[in-house]
């Protein structure tokens, strides 16, 4: 303070500014310290995600029906094929396919009617439409990708359009007659 007037001198003002700035800075650090653990809990680390599994009861899926689930943050399709769809898949010369694989290669023994694939087009990653969906214009009875027109057959194999590979069959196993664990 100025001894004569009682008003803060230049030094006093500077000191107050410093105290204000310091208080704001500490508040900022405090907020980051509180928020950071919350954010890091919300987003699972890549390691945790890579090891996560998805358990599904598929017993209620009727022939010709499919369910959509999520596996490691991506769409997953589980479809029970009809006898006609199985025949269609088996009626193709595997060696002539763009990404050769038989239906048996893509299903589990004893569960040849259950097709489990990622719901991610192998072209640029759109979500294909299933056979039961109204907008499906697929020519091979399986999945159709509306983004650039890739057609997948009833075994999820690429048959026409720009996608280079079949829909990916993730690692999975049946843990009972009706339950699968993906991952
Ligand atoms: Fe499916 Fe391009 S992303 S055809």
Segment 94-124, tens digit of pLDDT = 999 999 999 999 999 999 999 999 999 999 9
The CA distance from 164 to 171, in Å, is 20
Question: Which residue of 98, 117, 122, 126 sits with most ligand 1 atoms within 8 Å of its CB, as the best mutation to test the pocket?
Answer: 126
pTM (2 d.p.): 0.75
Q: What is the pLDDT of residue 156?
A: 97
Q: What is the pLDDT of residue 40?
A: 52
Q: What is the pLDDT of residue 50?
A: 81
Greater pLDDT, 47 or 170: 170
* Ligand 1 within 6 A of CB of 158: no
The CA distance from 81 to 112, in Å, is 8
- DSSP assignment letter at 121: -
* Ligand 1 within 6 A of CB of 121: yes
Token pair for 59:
């017993």
* Ligand 1 within 6 A of CB of 150: yes
Name the burial class of residue 66, with classes exposed (0-12), middle (13-18) and buried (19+) by CB atoms within 10 angstroms of its CB. buried
Count CA within 13 A, CB hemisphere, residue 103.
24
| 148 given a catalytic annotation | yes
Q: What is the pLDDT of residue 142?
A: 93
Q: How far is the CA of 124 from the centre of ligand 1 (A)?
A: 5
Q: What is the pLDDT of residue 130?
A: 87
Task: Reply yes or no on whether the pLDDT at 66 is more than 80.
Answer: yes
Ligand 1 atom index nearest CA of 121: 1
Q: How far is the CA of 4 from the centre of ligand 1 (A)?
A: 81
Segment 140-164, tens digit of pLDDT = 999 999 999 999 999 999 999 999 9
Q: What is the pLDDT of residue 17?
A: 60
In the chain, where do the E strands start and end? 54-57, 66-71, 74-80, 114-118, 141-145, 150-153, 158-160, 172-174, 179-182
Segment 9-56, tens digit of pLDDT = 555 555 556 555 555 555 555 555 555 555 555 666 778 788 899 999
Q: How far is the CA of 128 from the centre of ligand 1 (A)?
A: 8
* Ligand 1 within 6 A of CB of 123: yes
């Amino acid at each position: 303070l100025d001894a004569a007037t009682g008003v803060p001198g230049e030094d006093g003002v500077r000191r107050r500014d410093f105290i204000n700035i310091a208080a704001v800075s500490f508040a900022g650090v405090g907020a980051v310290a509180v928020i950071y653990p919350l954010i890091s809990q919300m987003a699972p680390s890549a390691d945790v995600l890579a090891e996560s599994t998805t358990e599904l009861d598929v017993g209620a899926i009727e022939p010709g029906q499919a369910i959509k689930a999520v596996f490691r943050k991506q769409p997953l399709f589980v479809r029970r094929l009809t006898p006609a769809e199985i025949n269609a898949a088996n009626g193709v010369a595997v060696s002539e396919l763009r990404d050769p694989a038989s239906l048996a290669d893509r299903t589990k023994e004893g569960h040849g009617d259950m097709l489990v694939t990622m719901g991610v087009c192998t072209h640029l990653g759109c979500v294909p439409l299933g056979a039961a969906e109204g907008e499906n214009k697929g020519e091979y009875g399986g999945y159709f990708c509306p983004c650039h027109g890739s057609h997948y057959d009833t075994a999820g194999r690429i048959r026409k359009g720009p996608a280079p590979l079949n829909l990916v069959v993730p690692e999975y196993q049946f843990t009972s007659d009706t339950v699968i664990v993906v991952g």
